[in-house]
Every structure is written in structure tokens, then in C-alpha cells.
Amino acid sequence: MKRNSSTTAAQRYALVTGGSRGIGRAVCLRLAAMGIPVLINYRSNEEAARQTLAEASALVPGCELLSFDVANAEAAEAAIAQWQEAHPDAYVDVLVNNAGIRDDNLMVFMQDEQWHRVVNTTLDGFFTVTRRLLKDMLVHRHGRIVNMASLSGLKGMPGQTNYSAAKGALISATKALAQEVAARGVTANAVAPGFIATDMTADLNADELKKLVPARRFGTPDEVAALVAFLASDDAAYITGQVISINGGLYA
Ligand code: NDP
């Protein structure tokens, strides 16, 4: 379904959580190249965020930084509310819930803090940000939600019970949400990358892990971003409630 012509007056934006670096940065640039101004969320690395903002702004006017910790519901709500008040004629039409961290440990050694930090960032972050922005999408009868899951959320990875639980729950929430909002022109999908070359995977033994991947290499952030951009486009209007793997053939 194409965008409702009665609502085209509203300026549409994209919000990418964790948009400063890695996959999120590549997603920001892809969406900006599609002509959608991007709100670049980040937690602490302002220098990286400013660099991404400069690159995105060269592609489309109107991009902004929107700093908050997705795991801090109060801070996230406040930052988004402030942006909404400053932009009464605009709405976030594309939401990419990408912010995520890993903090690996075998379960027998895992600390409470490791469990909660990882789950809060991925799962509570998704809930807080999506609930806040969903109403506008429903009112405008158009929206795209893309949730960054992981192969770990499908397969489960030893040493990552926290991360696998968070990503697995994110996938299930995506499927449930998709059915709630499909009739209103809003889609919700999950993307499940395998190994992607970013800061998050910089500490892994890439030479050994590559041997496990049929494609014999890690993916690039831009390859993931291309998939996200497709899911955010009008061409993907009939795809919803799906989890799409991008992993060089590394199946669960
Ligand atoms: P990076 O570590 O390279 O970047 C993480 C990004 O998330 C940064 O922009 C960071 O902001 C932001 N971020 C982290 N925590 C928060 C928070 N609490 N609030 C707001 N922003 C936050 O990660 P990747 O690009 O590799 O990963 C992106 C997503 O893709 C994650 O959800 C990850 O789980 C998922 N993924 C990654 C894979 C990989 O192999 N790389 C594989 C499968 C899934 P700041 O710059 O301020 O620190």
C-alpha cells in the first residue's frame, strides 16, 4: 500500500537507535540516500555520531542527532517527546531498533548486571521507543519498524544466554506486533545478521570464525543496511512479521 495521500503533508523521518557506528551508521546513510531525514540516536560516542550526521546531512537535509540511552525509559521518553514537540508537523515513519550490546559470559558465571544490561538495551529499548512512536504511524496509516535481531536469537549461542534471550524475545515481539498493526499499513520485521565486521565483533577471532561461514567472510554493515532499507521501502509493504537472516549461509 502506498502512502495515504491525505497524510503526505507530514514530514516523515527515520529514527535509527544506535545510529552512530557500525550497522546503525550504515543504515542511517542508506535511509538518507533514499531521501528520508534521519534522527541518529546514540548513547555516548558523540564524535562518531557527529561524523555520521555530517555524512547523512550531505545526502538529505534535516538529519539530527538524538542522544539517549535506550535502556533508560525515562530519558528515551523525554528525548523523543522533546523532539515531537519541536516538530509538530513531522512524524517518525521508519523506526530501526538497532541499538544493542553484548556482554558474554557462561551462564554459571554471569552476573545480574550482565544479564539485565543486555536484555534492557535490546528488549526494553525496543519496547520504550516503539510504543512511543507507534501511535503516529497508526494515525498516519503508514510505518516501518525494523528490529535488529541476530542469528543468536534464532539459534542460541553458548556464552550468550543474555544476548540470545534478548534477541529471541525481540523476534517474538516483532511477530506479535506485526499482527497488531498490519491493517493500519504499518509493518514490523526483524533482521537477523550473522557475523558482521563492526566494533562489536572486533574482539572475535575472525580468521577462525570465517571458516564456519559458507561465504568464508564476515558481512559488511552496508550489506545489512541494504536489507533494512528494502524493508523500509514501499516495495516491502506486504512483508511483515518476518525474521530475515543475513549471514553468508551460516544457518541455525
Ligand atoms: P556497534 O557496537 O558497532 O555499535 C553499537 C551502536 O549502538 C552504537 O551506535 C552505540 O552508540 C549504540 N548503543 C549501544 N548501546 C546503546 C544504548 N543503550 N542506547 C543507545 N545507543 C546505544 O554494534 P553493531 O553495529 O555491530 O551492532 C548493531 C546491532 O546489530 C546490535 O543490536 C547488535 O546486537 C546487532 N548485531 C550485530 C552483529 C555483528 O556481528 N556485528 C550480528 C548480529 C546482530 P555509541 O556510539 O554512543 O556507543
Question: Which residue from 51, 70, 72, 101 has its CB within 8 A of the most atoms of ligand 1, so it is best to mutate?
Answer: 101
Ligand 1 centroid – CA 40 distance (Å): 13
Q: What is the pLDDT of residue 9?
A: 66
Looking from the CA of residue 121, the nearest atom of ligand 1 is: 18
DSSP character for 70?
Answer: T
How many angstroms separate the CA atoms of 170 and 176, rounded? Answer: 10
Give per-residue pLDDT as tens, 175-194: 999 999 999 999 999 999 99
Which residue owns the Cα nearest ligand 1 atom 11? 42
Any ligand 1 atom below 6 A from CB of 71: yes
Any ligand 1 atom below 6 A from CB of 248: no
Which residue owns the Cα nearest ligand 1 atom 8? 18
User: Among all residues, which ones are annotated catalytic?
Assistant: 163
Other Cβ atoms closer than 10 A to 77? 15
Question: Which residues of the chain fall short of a pLDDT of 50?
Answer: 1, 4-7
Residues 6+ apart with CB under 8 A from 205: none
Ligand 1 centroid – CA 249 distance (Å): 22
What are the Cα distances from residue 71, in Å, to 6, 117, 118, 187? 36, 8, 9, 24
What is the distance between the terminal CA atoms of the chain, rounded to a whole angstrom?
Answer: 33
Q: What is the pLDDT of residue 7?
A: 43
Any ligand 1 atom below 6 A from CB of 84: no
Which residue owns the Cα nearest ligand 1 atom 39? 196
